[in-house]
Homo-oligomer: A and B are copies of this chain.
């Protein structure tokens, strides 16, 4: 599929309406085979869920609808360039393409931390503002060894 303006405009309308409902100014729709299969709006404050960005909400709904964690052949239209959480979720979901309107810098200009988090993720763990420490690495590998040895696992 190529870019289709009406789906991005739908994401814009969702974002605008969500402000009136007390949510953040972000909306997203997921399209498969030329039809919208799911949409989402930022529900962080309304639902007390820091992960409830528009794209995450839409991905979770689309996966539930398709009864699959694999959204290959889907495309996401987001009112804003996805933050690192949402972009990584898009990779995990194997979505084909991302079409967006405003940028992470636009989001930063109105008070959202998208650009800051992108910069943090580029750094080594020790250089990040958040404390990140590895411990008990030998014990940790037991789970991975068990997974690696399991013959009937569902790989994803």
Residues of A within 8 A of B (CB): 3, 5, 8-9, 12, 15-16, 19, 22, 24-27, 44-45, 48-51, 56, 59-60, 63-64, 66-71, 79-81, 83-103, 106-107, 109-111, 113, 116-118, 120-122, 125, 130-137, 139-144, 146-148, 150, 153-156
Report the bound CA distance from A79 to B106 in whole Å: 35
| Contact residues in B for A132 (Cβ distance below 8 Å) | 81, 97-98, 100
5 A–B contacts, CB within 8 A, in A order: A5-B135, A25-B144, A96-B131, A101-B139, A101-B140
Closest to A4 in B: B135
Q: Are A142 and B16 in contact (CB under 8 A)?
A: yes
Q: Are B153 and A19 in contact (CB under 8 A)?
A: yes
Report the bound CA distance from A133 to B99 in whole Å: 5
| Contact residues in B for A106 (Cβ distance below 8 Å) | 140-141, 144
Q: Are A147 and B60 in contact (CB under 8 A)?
A: no
| Contact residues in B for A116 (Cβ distance below 8 Å) | 91
Q: Are B93 and A154 in contact (CB under 8 A)?
A: no
Residue from A49, A68, A92, A113 with most neighbouring chain B CB atoms (10 Å)? A92
| Contact residues in B for A91 (Cβ distance below 8 Å) | 113, 116-117, 120, 130
Report the bound CA distance from A136 to B14 in whole Å: 15
Q: Are A88 and B90 in contact (CB under 8 A)?
A: no
Q: Are A154 and B45 in contact (CB under 8 A)?
A: yes
List the 8 closest pairs (A to B, CB-CB), nearest first: A101-B140, A85-B88, A15-B143, A25-B147, A97-B131, A84-B88, A50-B93, A102-B140
